[in-house]
Amino acid sequence: MKRFTTLDVSSPPYSSHHYPGKVFDFVDEIIAGGVRIEGMLTESLTGKSAPEFSGLRGWLNTPPLTVARLRGKVVLLDFWTYSCVNCVRSLPHMKMLHKEYAGGPFVLIGVHTPEFEFEKLPENVASAVKRFGIGYPVAIDSENTTWKLYGNQYWPRQTLIDSSGMVRWEHAGEGDYDKMGDRIRDLLKETGRQEESKDNARSNILENFRFMPNTTPEIYAGTLRSQGFGNGQVYEPGSRTRFIDPGKHSRDMPYLGGDWTQFPEYVVHATTESGYILLKYGARNANAVLGASDTKPVRVDVELDGKPIEKGKAGADIQWDSMGSFLLVAENRLYDIVRTKDFETHELKLITKADDLRLYTYTFG
């Protein structure tokens, strides 16, 4: 049996990755150039023994598992976080792999590793697992301990471990799901289980992400990774500031209107008077990680190019009433706002009178 020891970081247009700010500009430049990305992991573990799980705050859908006790099984680790759009788009493929190979010597484990503070709470992870209909085991890695042991830097990432406990394949980003299935089958054959070769029919029934050149990059709002706002005025992080919209807007730059305060992870609306966040972007899909400090739902009116969003362009979280299109932000999570079939350029405006609406980040596809 041919052994494979491959670090596979997918290339556009078949994948997209969610990166921390410290490597984002470098990676975005590579993606824009359309070249294959290699060696982006802090440390590749391919060909080495898989580290034991460590520092977990709990498990969902299973009693606690260990790498040692999983010997004899092929194990796929999917590192993800529930507010990452790239991870969310990969979940149907993970669920299909779980369904296809469950019952044999194969285990798929979602390792939930947070990007934001609110994602650290086990109850929030449990809510997300239920919302997405995930039935396979999920490890709650709230302090990023296991994430670091596996040399990770971004979401999503998959690590495939053979029945002897050795890391045999690593992959970052979306895409290559058929290749992932091929690798799983190869390792299952090594255990003595014969798997018939599958064609591409199973993955073709799911939407595969296609990277579109010139897509607006992820835009963070908090001081930790923000590139600033387009208002062109001086403001002090942590202090309430009245932002004046200059009226002319550059693409890929957020603009604030009204009173806002910037904190490390987010910017928050600071008054019950009307305020807004405006962004001119280019993409097929537009999403935002939003939240509120209170448990009471917050209304956010949504305009696309100065008008309510048409139903043919609305994301799954958009609602309508006599006043127009809106979101109800009831929890800290990713909100699906705009979906179009083709790449388009629009001005997206989020308007609120709530004094605790938080914007963490915009993501696009």
Reported as a single tens digit per residue, the pLDDT across 270-311 is 999 999 999 999 999 999 999 998 778 999 999 999 999 999
pLDDT digits (tens, 9 = 90+) for 219-249: 999 999 999 999 999 899 999 999 999 999 9
Q: What is the pLDDT of residue 103?
A: 80
Distant-in-sequence, close-in-space partners of 322: CB < 8 Å, separation ≥ 6: none
Residues 6+ apart with CB under 8 A from 116: 83, 265, 289, 332, 360
Identify which of 168, 101, 84, 153 has the alpha carbon closest to the alpha carbon of residue 364.
84
**Tens of pLDDT, residues 179-215:** 999 999 999 999 887 655 454 445 445 555 566 789 9
Residue 261 contacts residue 222 (beta carbons within 8 Å): no
Q: What is the mean pLDDT of residues 58-78?
A: 97
- Proportion of the chain above pLDDT 70, given as a percent: 83
List, in order of start, the domains of the chain with CATH numbers: 6-204 (3.40.30.10), 219-364 (2.60.120.260)
CA–CA separation, 315 vs 144, rounded Å? 31
pLDDT beyond 60 at 50: yes
- Biggest CA–CA distance in the chain, Å, is 68
Lowest-confidence pick of 140-144, 171-175, 296-300: 171-175
Whether residue 331 is predicted with pLDDT greater than 90 in this model: the reply is yes
Q: Count the alpha carbons within 13 Å of 354 in the hemisphere toward its beta carbon.
A: 25
Q: Mean pLDDT in the chain?
A: 86
Give the pLDDT mean for 55-67.
98
Residue 57 Cα distances to 65, 67, 138, 151, 166, angstroms: 12, 16, 11, 20, 25
DSSP string, 246-278: -S---BT-EEEEEEEEE-SS-EEE-SSS-EEEE
